[in-house]
Structure 1
Amino acid sequence: MSTVGSSRPAPSRPLVAGVGNSNDQTRRHNLSTILTTLHHGGAQTRADLTRKLGLNRSTIAALVGELVDLDLAYETARTEHGTVGRPSPYVHPNDRIAALAVNPDTDAIIIGLVGLGGVVHKRIRYETDGLPSVRETVNIVKAVVDGMRGELESTFRIAGIGIAVPGLVRVDTGVVALAPHLDWHDEPLAELLSEALGYPAVAANDANVGVIAESIYGAGRGVSDLVYVNGSPSGIGGGVLVGGVPLRGASGYGAELGHTLVNPGGLLCHCGRSGCLETEVQLNRILAVIGRETIDADELDQVLTTSTDPALETEIRRQIDVLCLGLANFISVFNPERVLLGGFLGSLMAAHPERIQQGVRDASFGELAAGLTLERAQLRSRLLIVGAAEFAFEELLADPAGTAPALTA
């Protein structure tokens, strides 16, 4: 059984699988390499794994066999005709090895069930009346998961719980130091959810979760230097990859991009300063123009791309121009290969892609924007639950042989 009532720190190792090692003493490392490769890249043949990982065929066969015995992978025969010799079987990650994912926000709590390979089995949106407290969040998640217990126990093995929080999270303890839009202060969220559900839990900032998900499964795949900026009802967050490694900072608070100063004479931010990016570029200011309190992400796309309201168009253009200044600052600091926009920032880009592209080029310093690609994040509504699950899978991916036998069934 997994350790009940425990939380564990968020991952800080490179996201890519790496290559194998033929030294017999590093068998566990090689198992980790293969399982991570399958988890991130999907089903592959043994021959593919041999080529990618630099191990010989017999070693790959033995390691794959061990992953199959651990019920972390399974094999299927190839069906292609015309191949010479004995066809190499496909090796699949077992998506019944799963993680629970939780994303609390100001208007709803999202609970997901995500299998190895990033397969989203369930995504449940539980709308809340007002800001949910930590205790309410734990109770809601427990009630939803308890309703799934029969299916979880009969069909899945749970690696743990990953939590994406719109705020500052201490990565070593899973304590939410500050989630200002939720009015949470020094809350041991990972520990509380772990005790309530009986699975180990890990918590992280939602934007850091998002950059990991996009870099593995989305528009940031294969990019080592990446800036991800997300806009949500809670404000603007950011995540950064530097040389393929997530930027954490000394206390895990790195890349608080929403608190970049863009207008010294602007609105007062909850952080105490005026004119932060997240006060000047804000979903609520768009909703106020269109007379709405909330809006679905897909509907927002439609509204922003089809509206003929001059007031809305003026606000969209104002926010885009300010956003471009902020993005140019990030480009100067991090010199990324790619910048991704998620949440309602992606909707702004869908409304005026040329204005954003040109605005970033005009505001950027010298050649820093040369060769840069600016894209919308791809995972949309799956983003945070897939990313949160990645944190929950970290221990299993790092040591399949040591972790799999203890997974909660």
Structure 2
Amino acid sequence: MTEALSAPSPDAVPTRPSLGSNLDGVRQHNLGAVLRLVHGIAGRSRSELTRATGLSRSTIGALVAELAALGLVSEQEPRESTGVGRPSPIVVANPKVVVVTVNPEVDGVNVGLVGLDGTVHRRVRHATAEPPTAEEAARIVANVLEGFKALFDSGLRATGIGAAVPGSVREADGVVRMAPHLEWVDEPFAALLEEATGLPALVANDASLGANAEHLFGAGRGIGDLIYLNGGPGGIGGGVITRALPLAGSSGYAGELGHTLVNSGGSRCHCGAIGCLETEVSQARLLDVLGLDDADGLDEAMGRLDGAGRAEVERQLRYLAVAIRNAVNILNPRRVVLGGFLGVLLDAAPQVLDAAVREQSLTASAEQVDIVRAELGPEVLTVGAAELAFTRLVADPTALHR
């Protein structure tokens, strides 16, 4: 299966500070700046790269030539132009330079291959009868990659692994400090993946990666400050984008909005606290009230709510509004993006949630914020994990050949 991601907003990268520089000694930085601008989209012209980076035309030409020699980009015929002068060639990322994406879940491990241009070459799911251990998950990834041999023989080059894990991950070394639904505690998942596959691996919290994916390619395109909340069978995760960059915190644990206090008289959460968002806003509770076995029919069921269903939806929206209010007052986002079953709740009664958030929030913080449903759907973690894995390559494009 081969798919292409929609292009990120042109504003997503230029808002980052110091994108390009003509100073000597920053060639690596400038190579990364150009690669970042063409990565994940259909391509940019040389003139667009010149405007976006502030570099000279000759410098852009030299950088593009070096990236092409490294096998990371190529140039195509220019688009038709009605302007004056010769149109610029289009610089496109090489789809055969790929990363491996990994997302372990309670009932399986998802593995994908995503190209530097955003093409999703392959996505497979290896089901498990129970939550896989970290060691088992790493072995599954290695076995799946063996099954991709024909793709690698056809010219795909894997540069690394990005893993999206539903838990708290230490940024420095990819140790999963706690993933309660997987029953992982202090698991060195990055090291296990590297040992099993021979590829460098980066690991991060799944919701934080989802936030970045929606920021670059989904409902947050062009929005520099946003909050992302995703709800699924394992609970609620969150991520924050501020000034167009992911908010990680001192060790990578920032964004755990699922553990915001919303009900001081509520149930005890698995984290040990009382009344967390994910204990009050729960997919399992919603499915139970609606008489559903799984979330596949959730959107349809929302269109025919009875009294008990409507009451449960509004109850969960009230608690969700408390969490969003807290985040709006503290972080002052421009947009709140809701994924998973939280997006379904929003669509069921958008006015209820919006009114509750605005009623409780500081006026100045709430007056410009909007609340929208996520766009990437089930692809969000594949996209987010791929972006994580490409971090090293974009930071130093020459590393691929060292």
TM-score normalised by L of structure 2:
0.92
Mapped to 2, the partners of 1:81 and 1:258 lie a distance apart of 49
Q: Within 5 A, what are the aligned runs for 1:6-405?
A: 16=16, 18-80=18-80, 82-296=82-296, 299-304=297-302, 306-401=303-398, 403-405=399-401
Cα shift at 1:284: 1.0
Greater alpha carbon shift after TM alignment, 108-117 vs 200-209: 108-117
Tell me by how many angstroms 1:228 deviates: 1.0
Q: Give yes or no for contact 1:104–1:165 (8 Å, CA) kept in 2.
A: yes
1:90-122 CA-partner distances (Å, limit 9, x unpaired):
110112111111111223322111111332222
Q: SS of the counterpart of 2:237?
A: strand
One-letter amino acid of the counterpart of residue 208, structure 1: S
CA contact (8 A) 1:169 1:178 kept: yes
Q: For structure 2, which runs of at least 5 residues remain unmatched after alignment? A: 1-12
- Kindly tell me: are residues 169 and 392 of structure 1, through their superposed partners in 2, closer, same or farther at Cα, counting changes over 3 Å? same
> Is the 8 Å Cα contact of residues 190 and 201 (structure 1) preserved in structure 2?
yes
Of all paired residues, the percent bearing the same amino acid is 47
CA RMSD, aligned part only?
1.9
Report the secondary structure of 2:295's partner residue.
coil
Aligned pair count reads 390
SS of 2:254's equivalent in the other structure is: coil
CA distance in 2, matches of 1:281, 1:29: 44
Is contact 2:14–2:52 with CA below 8 Å preserved after alignment? Answer: no
Letter aligned with residue 111 of structure 1:
V
In structure 2, relative to structure 1, the CA distance for the partners of 1:391 and 1:180 (3 Å cut) is same
Structure with bigger RCO (C-alpha 8 Å, 6+ apart): 1
Q: Look up the equivalent residue of 2:177 and give its one-letter code.
A: A
- 1:139 counterpart letter in structure 2: R
3-state secondary structure, aligned to 1:287: helix
Write the distance in 1 (CA, Å) between the matches of 2:282 and 2:316.
8
Q: How far 1:83 sits from its partner (Å)?
A: 4.9
Deviations 1:320-376 (A, max 9, x none): 111011100111111111111111111111222222222211121232100112111
- Conserved 8 A contact 1:17-1:37: no
Using the TM superposition, give the Cα deviation of residue 245 of structure 1 relative to its aligned residue in structure 2, in angstroms: 2.8
3-state SS in 1 of match to 2:380? helix
Q: TM-score, normalised to structure 1's length?
A: 0.90
Deviation for aligned residue 1:275: 0.9
Distance 1:226 1:56 in 2: 33
Task: Confirm or deny: 8 A CA contact 1:332 1:368 kept in the other structure.
Answer: yes
User: CA separation of 1:139/1:132 partners in 2, compared to 1, >3 Å: closer, same or farther?
Assistant: same
Q: Map Cα deviations across residues 40-96 of structure 1 (whole Å, 9 max, x no partner).
A: 554011111112211121111111111111110011112526554332111101121
The separation in 1 between residues aligned to 2:105 and 2:78, in whole angstroms, is 45
CA contact (8 A) 1:284 1:293 kept: no
CA separation in 2, counterparts of 1:17 and 1:400? 19
SS of match in other structure, 1:75: strand
Partner-residue secondary structure (3-state), 2:25:
helix
Contact 1:17 1:34 in 2 (8 A): no
Deviations along 1:119-150, one digit per CA (max 9) or x if unpaired, are 22222233332322223322322222211122
Equivalent residue letter for 2:380:
L
- Aligned-partner Cα distance in 1 for 2:369–2:158: 39
Shift of 1:172: 0.7
Give CA-to-partner distance per residue, 1:10-39, whole Å, 9 cap, x none.
Answer: xxx999485321123211111110000111
Equivalent residue of 1:25, what SS? coil
Could you say what secondary structure the match of 1:121 adopts?
strand
CA distance change for structure 1 residues 254 and 21 in 2, over 3 Å: closer, same or farther?
same
1:291 and 1:218 map into 2 onto residues whose CA distance is: 31
- Indicate conservation of the 8 Å contact 2:99/2:113, yes or no: yes
In structure 1, C-alpha distance between the alignment counterparts of 2:17 and 2:91, rounded to whole Å: 16
Tell me the amino acid that sits aligned with residue 72 of structure 2: L
Q: Counterparts of 2:44 and 2:210 in 1: how far apart (Å)? A: 26
CA distance in 1, matches of 2:18, 2:308: 51
Q: Could you list the structure 1 runs, at least 4 aligned residues long, displaced by more than 4 angstroms after superposition.
A: none
The 1:167/1:15 distance shift into structure 2, 3 A limit, reads farther
Asked if the contact 1:178/1:184 (under 8 Å) is kept, the reply is yes
